[in-house]
Amino acid sequence: MSEYLPGLAGVPATKSNISDIDGEKGILAYRGYPIEQLARHSSFEETCLLLLDGRLPTGAELDLFDQQLRENRRVKYHIRGLMKNLPESGHPMGMLQTAVASLGMFYPAKECLIGGDACEDLNYIHNTTVKIIARMATMVAMWEHIRNGYDPVTPRPDLSYAENFLYMFTGRKPDPMLARILDVCLILHAEHTINASTFSVLVNGSTLANPYSVIAAAIGALSGPLHGGANQRVVGMLKEIGTPDRAEEYVDRKLSNKEVIWGMGHREYQTKDPRATILQKLVDELVEARGGDVNPMFEVAKQVEIICEDRLAEKGVYANVDFYSGILYSEMGIPADQFTAIFAIARSAGWLAHWREQLADNRIFRPTQVYIGEPMRDYVPIAQR
C-alpha cells in the first residue's frame, strides 16, 4: 500500500530550476538570485524575464520585453462588456478568473497544445505569456472603475508596469515612491516554488489545456482563504486593534483562544519570511519620507510583530509576506478586497514560468489514491433493500 500524506506534504511533485526556499535560514532565490538583491536592484519587468528565460536579460532583451508588455496592455472591448455585466458586488478574484478564462475565447491555443508531444512553438508560448502578464493588471484596474459605475482608465504606454497599474487604478499620476514600493511588492510575490496555485498550473498545464484556462485555474486556487487573502485579513486585524497600546491584549487573547494571528507564520519558513523583512524596511522608508505622516496601522503592525516575536519565536512563527503588504497597498489607496488580485498579477509571472517548464518535458499528472471504502460486494435490487 502506498503511504498517504495529507496535502502531499513534503512529496516532490516536479523538478524545477525556477525558485528555491531554505526555510531554516529564511532564504528565497529566483533562478539562484537572492530575493533581497532582486528587490533592491531589479524591476518587475526584469524579474519576469528572469523567471521565464532562466537568466538575467541583456539591456536590449529587457527593452524589447518591456515594449511588448506596454503594447499588450489593452483588452478587447468584448472583455470590458463582459466585466460590465458581472455583479458589482462580485469579488475581484471572481472577476479576474472569469475574465482571464474568457481571454482564451479570443486568443485560442494553437496546434502545439493539441497533440501529445511537447509544445515547441516558442513564439506562441512567449507571445501568450506577454499577453497574460500585460493584461492581468489592466483587468484588475478596470474592475475597480467598472464595479463603481465608471468607464475604466485607458492604459499609458509611457509608464512602467507598476506605474501604469497605479495610474489606471486611481486615475492620477502615481507617487514615484509608492510606484517603486508596488514594483518591489510585485517582485516579492512573483514566485514561491510549488504552492497550491502553482501546483494547479502544473496539473492543468500537463493536460495541454489552453494557457488562459491554466491561469484561470491558478487564480481559483489562489482565491481560497487558505492560500491568498491573508494580507486583507491583516488589515482588518490592525483596524480592529486600533492603537499600539491595545496590541498586547489582542495578541494574548487570540493566542489563549488558539486563534490565528493573521500574517504570522509560514509553512515553508521557520524564521522570518525574507519578503516580510524587505517590506518592513519599505514601511520604515515610507514613514521617514513622510515625516511620520502615514496610516496609524503602521505603528500598530510594528507593535503586533514585536509582541508576536516574543510569544511565538520559539515555535518558529514569525511575520510573513502578508503582514506588511496589505498596509502598503492601503497607503496606495487600494481597497482590501483587491489585495489578492494584486497577488495574482505578480504571481502570473511564476505561474507562466512553471507552465513553460511543464510543457518542455510534459507528462500528464495522474496520482494514485489509498482506497478506504467498502470491499467488493453484490448489488442488491431496490425491492430487497
- Strands of the chain (E only): list them: 19-22, 27-30, 33-34
Which class for 373: exposed (0-12), middle (13-18), buried (19 or more C-beta within 10 A)? exposed
Tell which residue, 76, 87, 220, has the closest CA to residue 138: 76
- Whether 78 contacts 98, CB under 8 Å: no
78 an active-site residue?
no
How far is residue 367's CA from residue 315's CA, in Å, rounded to a whole number?
33
Grid cell 433493500 in the structure block, residue: 385
Helix (H, G, I), strand (E, B) or coil at 22: strand
Residue 156 C-alpha from the chain's centroid: 24
**Catalytic site residue from 66, 273, 322, 354:** 322
- What single-letter DSSP state applies at residue 118? P
Kindly write down the DSSP assignment for every residue of 284-331, as one continuous string. Answer: HHHHHHTTT-S-THHHHHHHHHHHHHHHHGGGT--B-THHHHHHHHHH
Question: For 112, which DSSP code?
Answer: G
Catalytic member of 183, 266, 273, 354 = 266
Q: For cell 532562466, name the residue.
A: 54
Closest CA to 93 of 260, 221, 196: 221
Q: Is 273 a catalytic residue?
A: no
Task: Determine the Cα–Cα distance for residues 262 and 277; give it in Å rounded to an integer.
Answer: 16
Closest among 299, 356, 40, 336 to 188, alpha carbons compared = 40
Q: Which residues are catalytic?
A: 266, 322
